[in-house]
């Protein structure tokens, strides 16, 4: 790889910052867990990598592809020289989610209290990079050095493709039986009412009798 010294230096910066970097060949194979298995643990899918798979075929040199998912996690993708390999950085936070934001996210994904606690603990371990951090200037310089062109950022949205895979709890048998009894009683009452109307009986049957 050309500019290997610059790239090696950048990898050291990532390591010191606690940010993971995954290199993979294109076309992409497998389904690596870029989020450290968070979605699998929470029962939410598909994975970030799987959701981005269609993007890989259209990536251009010198473009930083930025993704922010529903869990406030950020990822950056860019092509390495030659275009046959790609680098994926992340996850990291740009803000620390508030308790209200965590609650709303948990509600959308139908997370149990235990999984909410897991999400809170996960955030504690995440590196945080502010939007005005010098980290981005360093990354821009690296991309320009690797591609030989001015770096740009392109936002990629995968939020709409993410769905909750949390199982829907079945209704209890007793609840289902009670609901069926109420339904049958209502149908019986409506049938009696129609018969009374047809017979010209002004005495309205009482529901539940």
What's the pLDDT at 203? Answer: 52
List, as own/partner pairs, every contact residues 71-74 make where C-beta atoms lie below 8 angstroms and the sequence separation is at least 24, other chains included. Answer: 71/35, 71/38, 71/105, 71/119, 72/97, 72/101, 72/105, 73/35, 73/38, 73/126, 74/129
Give how far Cα 136 sits from Cα of 30, 66, 153, Å: 29, 12, 10
Q: Please, what sign has the CA dihedral across residues 138, 144, 147, 150?
A: positive
Per-domain residue ranges for the chain?
Answer: 4-164, 170-209
With residue 85 as reference, give the H or E element that holds it: strand 85-93
Largest Cα–Cα distance of the chain, in whole Å?
96
Name the stretches of the chain with pLDDT < 70. Answer: 1-2, 159-198, 200-209
- The pair phi, psi for residue 42, each rounded to 5°, is -90, -10
DSSP 150: -
In residues, how long is the chain? 209
Q: For 16-52, what is each residue's pLDDT tens digit?
A: 989 999 999 999 989 999 998 899 999 888 889 988 8
Q: Is the pTM of this model over 0.85?
A: no
- In angstroms, rounded to a whole number, what is the distance separating the alpha carbons of residues 63 and 61? 6
Which stretch of DSSP H or E encloses residue 92?
strand 85-93
């Amino acid at each position: 790889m050309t500019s290997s010294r610059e790239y090696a230096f950048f990898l050291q910066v990532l390591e010191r910052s606690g940010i993971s970097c995954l290199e993979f060949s294109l076309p992409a194979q497998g389904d690596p867990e870029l989020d450290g298995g968070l979605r699998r643990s929470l029962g939410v899918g598909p994975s970030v990598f799987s959701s981005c798979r269609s993007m890989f075929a259209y990536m251009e040199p010198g473009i930083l592809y930025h993704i922010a998912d529903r869990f406030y996690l950020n990822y950056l993708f860019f092509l390495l020289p030659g275009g046959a390999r790609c680098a994926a950085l992340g996850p990291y936070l740009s803000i620390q989610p508030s308790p209200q934001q965590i609650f709303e996210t948990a509600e959308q994904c139908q997370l149990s209290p235990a999984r909410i606690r897991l999400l809170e603990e996960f955030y504690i371990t995440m590196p945080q990079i502010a939007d005005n951090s010098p980290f981005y200037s360093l990354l821009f310089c690296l991309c320009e050095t690797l591609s030989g062109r001015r770096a740009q950022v392109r936002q990629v949205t995968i939020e709409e493709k993410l769905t909750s895979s949390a199982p829907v709890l079945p209704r209890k048998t007793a609840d289902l039986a009670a609901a069926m009894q109420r339904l049958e009683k209502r149908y019986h009452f409506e049938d009696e009412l129609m018969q009374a109307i047809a017979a010209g009986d002004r005495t309205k049957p009482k529901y539940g009798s």
